[in-house]
Amino acid sequence: MNSTTPSLRPYFATCAAIFGPLFLVLVAVGYRYGFPVEKGEGEASMAQELSMDFQKLADRMLPSVVRVHTSVEKEFKRVVLDAAGNAQPEADAEFDTMPGIGSGVIVSADGLILTNWHVIKDLDLKGGRDTLFVALHRETELRQVDIIGVDAVTDVVVLKLQGKLERALPPLAFGDSDQMHRGNIVMALGSPFGLWDTVTQGILSNCERRLGDSDAGQQYLQTDCVINPGNSGGPLVNLKGEIIGINWAVYSGQQDVHTWQGVGLAIRSNDAKAAMDKILNNSGPRTYVGIMLDEQLDSAKGKRKVWISGVVNGSPAYAAGLRQGDVLQEIDGRTLENATEAWKWVQNRKVGERIQFLVKRANQLQPPIHVQVLSADEAAPVPPEIVDLGFEIGLKVQNGSAKEAVSFQARGWRWGAAFVVVREVAADSPLMGKVRPGDLLAAAGVGGDAPRRLNNTDEIQKLVSSWPAGSALSLSFWRDPQMQFDHTFNH
Active site residues: 118, 155, 232
Three-state SS annotation for the chain: CCCCCCCCHHHHHHHHHHHHHHHHHHHHHHHHHCCCCCCCHHHHHHHHHHHHHHHHHHHHHHHHEEEEEEEEEEEECCEEECCCCCEEECCCCEEEEEEEEEEEEECCCCCEEEEEHHHCCCCCCCCCCCEEEEECCCCCCCEEEEEEEEECCCCEEEEEECCCCCCCCCCCCECCHHHCCCCCEEEEEECHHHCCCEEEEEEEEEEEECCCHHHCCCCEEEECCCCCCCCCCCEEECCCCCEEEEEEEECCCCCCCCCCCCCEEEEEHHHHHHHHHHHHHCCCCCEECCEEEEEEEECCCCEEEEEEEEECCCCHHHHHCCCCCCEEEEECCECCCCHHHHHHHHHCCCCCCEEEEEEEECCEECCCEEEECEEHHHHCCCCCCCEECCCCCCEEEEECCHHHHHHHHHCCCCCCCCCEEEEEECCCCCCECCECCCCEEEEEEECCCCCEECCCHHHHHHHHHCCCCCCEEEEEEEEECCEEEEEEEEC
Cα gap 276→442, rounded to integer Å: 38
Is 406:251 a contact under the CB 8 Å cutoff? yes
**Closest by alpha carbon to 159, among 126, 110, 196?**
110
Among the listed residues 332, 306, 93, the one whose alpha carbon sits nearest the alpha carbon of residue 208:
306
Distance CA 221, CA 188 (A): 12
Cβ atoms of 315 and 290 within 8 Å: the answer is: yes
Cβ atoms of 428 and 394 within 8 Å: the answer is yes
Biggest CA-to-CA distance, the chain: 122
Q: CA-to-CA distance for 37 and 435, rounded, in angstroms?
A: 55
